[in-house]
Chain A
Amino acid sequence: MDLRRNLRDQRHRVLLALARRGNEDAFRRLYRELFGPVSAYVGRRVPNREDAEDVTALVFSRFVHRLDGYDADRGSVMTWVLTMARTAVIDQHRRRRPAAEPVDELADRLAGPGPGPLQECVRDEDLRRVRRLLERQPDDIREMFALRFEQGLRVHEVAEVMGLSPDAAKQRFARALRRLQLELKDEERGPGPNKGDAPCATID
């Protein structure tokens, strides 16, 4: 996965450089590669489908207008566009949030609380265990995991997207992984599957 990711990042940089010079094919190709991760990121954090589509469209509109503003020294193209997506999700949440809704809801939203289509019916015991473990983590840690594992960002890129210092992100992430590892071992040694998990519906 690291090899693919590094080649992907390099490819994105070249495509963006070409797009800046008016190469429409490069722009189109870059857009098509970024669309999946951005729409997945937004889709998991904006519950209403129409709103999610609008936010995704806004992200790419900003992407087009800011094409010349990308700075390769600050991170990958993926990091840059996901930072825009995160900002757009935050803005959308603030516009839509009823006054009575607690602010903490935003942090929970950014962590991607909604399961993706592959997790909505989790049959595998291991994955159920991971879900339980993640639900117990603080929102910022869950957001870090989502950016790291869902979007494939490196830890310093996660820091960039979340506005953290790279060292702080590295420490928090390492501590969280260690804690999760210990909790996973404890769960595996435990009495058995959590009886609170509802079994998935089966189709006869």
Chain B
Amino acid sequence: MRHDRLNRLLDAWHEGGPVDTGRRADLEAGLLEQYRKNHPRNRRWLMFLNPWNRAARFAVAGLAVALLGVGACSTETTTEIEAGQQAHISLRLDTSVPDKAGELDPRVVTDFIAAQPGVDELNVNVREMIDDAGAVTTDLGLVIWGGNLDADALAAALRERFPSLGASDISFEPLTATVTESLFDKLGREVFHVEADGASAEEIRAQILEQLAAQGVEGDAQVEVIDGDGTREIRVMIEQDDAK
């Protein structure tokens, strides 16, 4: 790749020094105090508003679940987060077909991919193989980074833009990062499905407790149902038993 040596020299020149961990620690205590005032940890209500619909099961997304309890919520869970896609594209250039080769220039293909929605960054490895008949196969190994990539849409866009890819292999597999977090925080990103049709507060509470138990959280929940003008507001406060 171009500029490799220059990039290495620039990296070396800009390389930073060691972190002053003493200074970091001095600052940390004060910051945590500010943080605790701005983001109190243990007393938050889960609130959502949903349109009244007696016949509907409704899903609640993006819940902030409050866990009250003595001691830290130390139960850990591991969550996989998709960070992008790893793609392999095999471009077969048939040199016996006049003037088709130009369309599948690897640089043109990668520039097209880099411009697609959801693509933050692209790393490319290119390998060319020529068989005895002179046919050239170019393999593009791509690592495509982006938080909201749609692999199927990307493959379809490639085949539409480069019809000559028709016979080529395009495969994607997700790249995932693993995050270990407390169960408390995982619940903040989970969806609860609650049957609200005519259900009382006690029945809704029972459903939520059942779903929490399925995720390994034992405790108690207080549910308050407030029916308004065409809306139903359900407030849930969950108390977790001490972590063992």
* A residues in contact (CB < 8 Å) with B: 1-3, 6-7, 10-11, 13-14, 17-28, 31-32, 35-37, 39-40, 53, 56-57, 60-61, 64-65, 67, 72, 116-119, 126-127, 129-131, 134, 145-146, 148-150, 154, 177, 180-181, 184
Contacts and interface: CB of A to CB of B under 8 A. Distances in A.
Contact of B15 (A19, A36, A116, A184): A116
B61 to A, nearest CB: 14
A36 B16 contact: yes
Nearest to A59: B27
Contacts of B34: 61, 64-65
A118 B16 CA distance: 7
Contact of B6 (A13, A35, A184): A184
A14 B27 CA distance: 23
Interface of B: 2-3, 5-7, 9-20, 23-24, 27-28, 30-32, 34-36, 38-42, 44, 64, 81, 83-84, 120-121, 123, 143, 145, 147, 177, 179, 181-182, 184-185, 188-189
A181 B9 CA distance: 11
Contacts of B5: 184
Contacts of A39: 19-20, 23-24
Contacts, number: 139
Given A21-B185, A28-B28, A65-B34, A10 B17 contact: no
Contact of B182 (A17, A20, A25): A25
B6 A177 contact: yes
B17 A40 contact: yes
A39 B21 CA distance: 11
Contact of B32 (A27, A35, A119, A149): A27
B27 A21 contact: no
Contacts of A17: 189
A40 B13 contact: no
B108 to A, nearest CB: 18
Contact of B9 (A10, A27, A32, A126): A126
A64 B181 contact: no
Contact of B123 (A2, A24, A31): A2
Contact of B35 (A3, A64, A146): A64
B199 to A, nearest CB: 27
A20 to B, nearest CB: 7
A126 to B, nearest CB: 6
23 contacts: A3-B123, A10-B83, A18-B188, A19-B35, A21-B64, A22-B41, A24-B41, A25-B182, A57-B30, A116-B14, A116-B17, A117-B17, A118-B15, A119-B13, A130-B13, A148-B10, A149-B10, A149-B13, A149-B14, A150-B14, A154-B121, A177-B6, A181-B6
A57 B3 contact: no
Contacts of A2: 121, 123, 143, 145
B39 to A, nearest CB: 5
A72 B147 contact: yes
Contacts of A130: 9-10, 12-13
A127 B177 contact: no
Contact of B10 (A31, A57, A61, A145): A145
B148 to A, nearest CB: 10
B181 A31 contact: no
Given A11-B177, A181-B6, A131 B39 contact: no
